[in-house]
């Protein structure tokens, strides 16, 4: 049996970030502007702290300005909203990200809705979600955007392909389905109430798994030759007690059947942060009425 091609999201993301960095330098030289990313972290959740550190570090690595705000876990909602209002008005900040999840005293929807849509580089604001769904100009959620880039890099033209998206969250499943529809795929969204999940998956030329259940999709759910994008990040126990990360797809069996597949880690994850930087660059250009650099993905890959 042939083994699937492994889609190297880490390498792809590195190249994309380098290209974004070049565009940021160009922007500064030609227009005296430095795109600025503000990241807000509420509480001390260790995983969120790692994510925020990585985001800020990579923003600086791409020559952007990075602003970090750490608030205590019991911060009153009003204080968080005031900070967002301040950042909305700050011309040095072009993108605002509030690390989720938020503690229970904070209404997450209210916080997302408070971010100026043109600074909403996570693409979660209803204005951006609506624009994506209706085919308008939107800041697109970073994880599905990264998945789409990997798919286009691997497959080129996606029109007419049958895509199954496993999961219907607002941050991954739904925007992923909208993006694939925009690329003229025939899209099915599957979820916990879907009746024969295996059967739905077996019809997919493109299978995107975003469920949050370790190794839920076995190789025999995959159509031979299909392209599999594994969004899941699940920590499982290991005998040495260190634990390790696995995806929603059972990699070992899937790799025997698929045409190509993203690994976990090293697949979708690195693309998410690269796309965050891409959205920050795009947001800065739009706010300053400058042309948005196009073709970054193609240039990145050379």
Active site (catalytic) residues: 55, 99, 122
Residue 233, annotated as binding a ligand:
yes
Backbone angles phi, psi at 34, to 5 degrees: -115, 115
Q: How many CB atoms lie within 10 A of CB 183?
A: 19
Report the candidate in 80, 27, 112, 14 with the shortest Cα–Cα distance to residue 283.
Answer: 27
Residues that bind ligand NDP (CB under 6 A): 143, 166-169, 171-173, 191-194, 197, 210-213, 231-234, 268-269, 272
CA 103 – CA 23 distance, rounded (Å): 36
CA 210 – CA 265 distance, rounded (Å): 14
| Closest CB to ligand NDP among residues 161, 197 | 197
Burial 242-281 (b: 16+ CB within 10 A, else e): eeeebbbbbbebbbebbbbbbbbebbbbbbbbbbbbbbbb
Residue 294, annotated as binding a ligand:
no
Minimal CB distance to ligand NDP: which residue?
A: 169
Q: Is residue 3 within 8 Å of residue 33, measured between CB atoms?
A: no
| Closest CB to ligand NDP among residues 27, 166 | 166
| Closest CB to ligand NDP among residues 64, 210 | 210
> At its nearest, how many Å lie between ligand NDP and the CB of residue 273?
8
What distance lies between CA 30 and its chain's CA centroid? 29
SS3 at position 39: strand
> At its nearest, how many Å lie between ligand NDP and the CB of residue 193?
5
Q: Is residue 123 within 8 Å of residue 175, measured between CB atoms?
A: yes
DSSP 8-class letter at 236: E
> At its nearest, how many Å lie between ligand NDP and the CB of residue 225?
23
> At its nearest, how many Å lie between ligand NDP and the CB of residue 85?
27
DSSP 8-class letter at 175: H
| Closest CB to ligand NDP among residues 212, 259 | 212
Residue 229, annotated as binding a ligand:
no
SS3 at position 21: helix
> At its nearest, how many Å lie between ligand NDP and the CB of residue 26?
28
Q: Is residue 88 within 8 Å of residue 116, measured between CB atoms?
A: yes
| Closest CB to ligand NDP among residues 7, 233 | 233
Query: Which residues belong to the annotated binding site for NADP(+)?
Result: 167-169, 233
């Amino acid at each position: 049996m042939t083994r699937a091609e492994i889609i190297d999201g880490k390498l792809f993301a590195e190249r994309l970030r380098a290209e974004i960095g070049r565009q940021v330098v160009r922007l500064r030289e030609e227009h005296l502007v430095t795109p600025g990313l503000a990241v807000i972290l509420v509480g001390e959740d260790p995983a969120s702290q790692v994510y925020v550190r990585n985001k800020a570090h990579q923003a600086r690595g791409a020559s952007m300005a990075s602003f970090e705000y750490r608030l205590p876990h019991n911060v009153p909602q009003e204080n968080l909203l005031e900070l967002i209002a301040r950042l909305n008005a700050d011309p040095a900040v072009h993108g605002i990200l509030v690390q989720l999840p938020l503690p229970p005293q904070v209404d997450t929807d209210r916080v997302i809705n408070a971010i100026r849509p043109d600074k909403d580089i996570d693409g979660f604001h209803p204005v951006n979600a609506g624009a994506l769904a209706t085919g308008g100009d939107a800041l697109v959620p970073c994880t599905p955007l990264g998945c789409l880039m990997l798919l286009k890099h691997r497959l080129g033209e996606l029109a007419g392909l049958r895509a199954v998206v496993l999961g219907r969250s607002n941050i991954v499943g739904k925007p992923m389905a909208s993006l694939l529809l925009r690329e003229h795929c025939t899209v099915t969204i599957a979820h916990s109430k879907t009746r024969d999940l295996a059967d739905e998956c077996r019809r997919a030329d493109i299978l995107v798994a975003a469920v949050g259940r370790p190794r839920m999709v076995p190789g025999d759910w995959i159509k031979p030759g299909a392209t599999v994008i594994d969004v899941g990040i699940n920590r499982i126990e290991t005998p040495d007690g260190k634990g390790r990360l696995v995806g929603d797809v059972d990699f070992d069996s899937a790799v025997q059947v698929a045409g190509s597949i993203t690994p976990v880690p090293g697949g979708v994850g690195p693309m998410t942060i690269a796309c965050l930087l891409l959205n920050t660059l795009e947001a800065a250009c739009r706010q300053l009425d400058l042309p948005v650099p196009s073709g970054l993905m193609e240039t990145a890959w050379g």
